[in-house]
Every structure is written in C-alpha cells, then in structure tokens.
Amino acid sequence: MFTIAVFGLGAWGRTLQGLWERRGHRVLGWSRSGGGDPVALLSRVDLVTSAMAMQGVEALAAHLAPHWPEGLPLLSCSKGIDPERLVTPTQLWGHHLPGAPLLALSGPNLAGELARQLPAASVIAATDQTLALQLQEQLSGDCLRLYRSSDPVGVEAGGALKNVMAVAAGICDGLGLGVNAKASLLCRGLAEMGVVVRGLGGEATSLYGLAGLGDLLATANSPLSRNYRCGLLLAEGCDEATAIERIGATVEGPRTARAALALARRQGWSLPICVQVLAVLEQTTTPAQAVQALMQRHLKAEVAQ
C-alpha cells in the first residue's frame, strides 16, 4: 500500500482521500485553509496528488519545486487551463518540475456521487505507461475503475473544455430549449473541444473516451455539476459574480472559457460556443441572443473538408 499526499481538500480532494483510504492506502491531506507547509509531506509519501482548483496550482507548484524529491510522481486531478501560461495542469506542473513523473486523472467523477460510493470510471494518463499501469492497479477500487491513457494533454484538455460546454448546457436547459437543441449543442461542443485538444498537442481520440464525452455527459446533465448550475443561473438572469456566489464553490468554466479564447486569438481558432458563453458571462449579450447568434452562423459542412 502507498502513502499518498492529497493537496487540496475541497469536495474532490476529500472524496479522493476517502476512496484511497478505503482502498487501504495511508493518505495525508493538506489544504491552504488548514495551514502548515506542504513541503513537510514530500519526504513521507510515495505519491503526491494535486486536487487544487486550477487557480491555486501555479503558487503551489512554485513553492514545492525546490524541495521535490527525485522520482516522486505527481498525479494531477485539477481541471482547467492556466489563464496566464495557457497550458493544462500537467504542463504547468512540468514547467516547475521538469524531471518529475507526471500523470493526470480525469473523467466523469462528480464528487458527490463518488463520496456516496456510487460506481464511476475515470482515466489515468501518462507518457510513462509502466507508471500508469502501477497506479491504475493501486488506485482502482470497488467504486472507481481506472483506465489507462498515454495522452495526458488530451485527457486534461477535454476535462477542462467540458466545463465551458456544461455552462452552455445549463443555459440551454434554463431557457427551456428542448432535447434537440441540447443534443446539437453538446455534439458541436465536442467538436469545439477537439480544436483545443489538438491545438495543445493532445489526441482528438481522447475526446471519445471517459475524459471527454463521458465527463461532458455527466457535467452537462447533472445539478451536482457546478458549471451546469452556473449556466442555469445565467439563464435566470444572474450575472457571473452572483451565480458563483450562489453556488458557493469554485466554478472552472468561466476561467476556462477565457483561457480557451486567449489561445484562440493567438492561434486563429474558431470557438463559437466559447465566444457566446463568455459574452453571456460578461453580459455583452443575453442568453437568448447568444442562442440566436449560434443559430445564425454561416452554414458549413459538419466535418471540415
């Protein structure tokens, strides 16, 4: 059994801690609100897990980097794109820990359901497949089944962009647009996610697995999803700050939309759903006008020729 450090004890971090303790591992937790220095845990563990919100990763990585033991693996469970460096979580960790073994965990893993020990599956991704296999075997349990991937960037980018699409799905349902509209939105959203995945260096095929389509289906349909609830509140007429205040927890979709569009401006990508989600968030358009703008875009082939 492993000794595991979990950095970040929000809903997701606490859920992981519980899952792995039930698996028989010794788990040491740290959070910013709890105080103490996370460096003290590095020499005592076999694996570090980062369950921080994306906005906290940069500072934590910079703090830990000078003290990182050689060969200690880092499993990133954060979902988002860094708004400054415009990279995925493991890419950000890799900037600070260039020699450390890095892995990503993502998938349809709503913390509330896993905390109740309801069954779920996710993906553990790393370029080092030997390490991925070892952690797959050690971290899988009765209610969380892990699959392997060799595409951490694609897995992470899919997990980040689905949050934007979940906000859009919440707006769609909040406006009462129906099943046809939502199915069309999610299908085109998946195609838009592929633009970003490929642009960041990931594999588009990762989008058709648990970390892409699987995660999208979960977060775009469940009131347990903060991003989906954010969309519902926007459709009611709330502004971004009010929606996030009412949710009372971190909502990654708005930050990810801004980061994705910063990348799009740099690379010349077309991300129409992200554009309209951000316009609603910034109140430069209404939810109904955003829908109209998407419906009136120029006609095109479904698949680029």
Which positions are annotated as active-site residues?
162
Tokens matching residue 211: 């970390």
Q: Which residue has the tokens 């934590």?
A: 60
Sheet with strand 3-7: strands edge to edge:
26-30, 3-7, 47-50, 74-76, 102-106, 120-125, 144-149
Neighbours of 177 (CB within 10 A): 17
Instruction: Say which residues have a Cβ less than 8 Å from residue 21's Cβ, sequence separation at least 6.
Output: 27
Is 120 within 8 Å of 210 (Cβ atoms)? no
- The residue among 6, 47, 2, 8 whose CA lies nearest residue 25 is 2
The single-letter code of the amino acid at 241 is A
Alpha carbons within 13 A on the beta-carbon side of 153 = 17
Tell me the three state secondary structure of residue 300: coil
